[in-house]
Amino acid sequence: MIESNVSLSCAWCAGGGDGTRAHLDENHSEHGLSPTGHLVVAVCLGFIGTLGFLNNTLVLILFCRYKVLRSPMNCHLVSISVSDLLVCVLGTPFSFAASTQGRWLIGRAGCVWYGFINSFLGVVSLISLAVLSYERYCTMMGATQADSTNYRKVAMGIAFSWIYSMVWTVPPLFGWSCYGPEGPGTTCSVNWAARTANNMSYIICLFIFCLILPFVVIVYSYGRLLQAITQMSRINTAVSRKREQRVLFMVVTMVVCYLLCWLPYGVMALLATFGRPGLVTAAASIVPSLLAKSSTVINPIIYIFMNKQFCRCFHALVMCTTPERGSSFKNSSKVTKTLRTVRRANGQNVTFTVASAGRPTIFAPNSGGQKSSSDGEKPSPAVGQGTNRPAVSLVAYYNG
């Protein structure tokens, strides 16, 4: 059954290099892009590929050069940057070259390779983002002290992201759906247009387990953290609230930008699969595809300019200086927690967990920094002169 469906939905695969070109020309000549349209797409792909390569390479350079960035949580960010960098190296150049010529250039095998590698690495980024949100949720909502030196759990999460993505993107290579040309014929992906049970079942599973499920995990994890921060806002200091809101804004912005890049592509794929034939034109399909590829540019920008650790290291790299030693930046990967129990008027106890990054007594041996860290006293504004201010603070609550 699978072989018969594949032969129908991927009939173009039977030809060689010339057959592939003939198929692409036949299916996209009537509804393809104009030469000007292909030129615009090529410029966009060149811009996305170049910036994505430079930005993700910069993230990896910062991570390798500055030891302070090698915290467990940042390893997830590096995993996403690696997948985005591979897209810029192994995928985008082929679609850029095809757009400059207005047709696919590297034949049937190249189309299958392009479709697989882009699908695989795209799912890796999305699953990694979901795993990152769940790791932060578990770390901040756990009542025990976080171990910032334990990389085993993080390594398992990263391995899960890559293996899970491989499981869902390999099947088209072995008969469950297939990879073929999409849009104007200058890119390749899953064969969205085939109306067979074999192909539609795979697309439904891919949509549920690689887009909807990660989205649910992300919304749940960050939603719970937002609820915790809202509950703590009335008893925490103004400085801590501002710091917590900044971190929350960073992660929410990262999630929203990523979903804005991928949701249009997912909607386009569903319309191409279940909508009436010809509903999604070549010109309409190329826009969601470009948005999806733009995630390789957006993600590292968020990490560098909204993450205080990466931002300081980036500034030090550009200025050829040493990162600030007097701030909590040096030990910002150290995570400590303080438990507080408050009795409500109705007799119920509420236990709050305050998680702070940075050891408050490292640079303030005579200022009572340990007491200030637990009692919520206002830290000194001076940097490098006895400051006991943590770099990041996230809070969580438990009803007892």
Q: Is 21 in the same domain as 154?
A: yes
Which helix (H) or strand (E) is 179 found in, with range? Answer: strand 179-182
The residue length of the chain stands at 400
Q: pLDDT at position 233, please? A: 61
Q: What are phi and psi of 37, to 5 degrees?
A: -65, -45
Q: pLDDT at position 375, please? A: 42
Q: Is 19 in the same domain as 95?
A: yes
Q: What are phi and psi of 275, to 5 degrees?
A: -80, 180
CA distance 103 to 113: 16
Q: Tell me, yes or no, whether 187 lies in a domain.
A: yes
Q: What residues make up the domain containing 183?
A: 2-319
Rounded to a whole number of angstroms, the distance between the first and last alpha carbons of the chain is 56
Domain count, the chain: 2
- Give, to the nearest 10 degrees, the angle between helix 107-141 and helix 72-90: 170
Q: Tell me, yes or no, whether 324 lies in a domain.
A: no
Residues 6 or more apart whose CB falls under 8 angstroms from that of 53 comprise: 85, 88, 89
Q: pLDDT at position 253, please? A: 81
Q: pLDDT at position 129, please? A: 87
pLDDT digits (tens, 9 = 90+) for 65-96: 988 888 888 888 899 999 999 999 999 999 99
CA distance 368 to 360: 9
Of 394, 47, 143, whose CA–CA distance to 247 is shortest?
394
CA distance 263 to 105: 28
Of 121, 114, 214, whose CA–CA distance to 173 is shortest?
114
Q: Is 211 in the same domain as 360?
A: no
Q: Which of 295, 319, 343 is the last residue in one of the domains?
A: 319
In this structure, which amino acid lies at residue 299?
Answer: N
Q: Is 101 in the same domain as 241?
A: yes
CB-based burial, 324-340: b 16+ in 10 Å, e otherwise: eeebbbbbbbbbbbeeb
Residues 6 or more apart whose CB falls under 8 angstroms from that of 60 comprise: 78, 81, 82, 85
CA distance 21 to 104: 7
Q: Is 117 in the same domain as 76?
A: yes
Residues 6 or more apart whose CB falls under 8 angstroms from that of 191 comprise: 9, 10, 172, 177, 178, 179, 180, 199
Q: What is the pTM of this model?
A: 0.74
Place of tokens 């400059």: 100
Q: Tell me, yes or no, whether 144 lies in a domain.
A: yes
Q: pLDDT at position 148, please? A: 57
CA distance 182 to 23: 12
Q: Is 229 in the same domain as 365?
A: no
CA distance to 96, 101, 209, 224, 395, per residue, from 243 (Å)? 42, 50, 34, 18, 11
Q: Is 155 in the same domain as 227?
A: yes
Q: Tell me, yes or no, whether 204 lies in a domain.
A: yes
CA distance 349 to 346: 9
Place of tokens 């192994």: 90
Q: Is 308 in the same domain as 219?
A: yes
- Give, to the nearest 10 degrees, the angle between helix 35-65 and helix 295-306: 40
Q: Tell me, yes or no, whether 325 lies in a domain.
A: no
Hey, what are 269's tokens? Answer: 């794929």
Q: Which of 319, 349, 377 is the last residue in one of the domains?
A: 319
Is the CB of residue 48 less than 8 Å from the CB of residue 56? no
Q: Which of 291, 319, 347 is the last residue in one of the domains?
A: 319
Q: Tell me, yes or no, whether 301 lies in a domain.
A: yes
Q: Is 365 in the same domain as 248?
A: no
Q: pLDDT at position 383, please? A: 40
Q: Tell me, yes or no, whether 48 lies in a domain.
A: yes
Of 391, 238, 247, whose CA–CA distance to 327 is shortest?
391
Q: Tell me, yes or no, whether 326 lies in a domain.
A: no
Q: Is 283 in the same domain as 344?
A: no
DSSP state, 323?
P
Of 211, 220, 301, 298, whose CA–CA distance to 263 is shortest?
211
Q: pLDDT at position 149, please? A: 63
Q: Is 257 in the same domain as 136?
A: yes
Residues of the chain with pLDDT under 50: 1-30, 144, 326-346, 348-400
**217: domain CATH number?**
1.20.1070.10
Q: Is 52 in the same domain as 142?
A: yes
User: Taking the mean position of all CA atoms in its chain, how far away is CA 325?
Assistant: 30
CA distance 147 to 271: 46
Which helix (H) or strand (E) is 81 found in, with range? Answer: helix 72-90
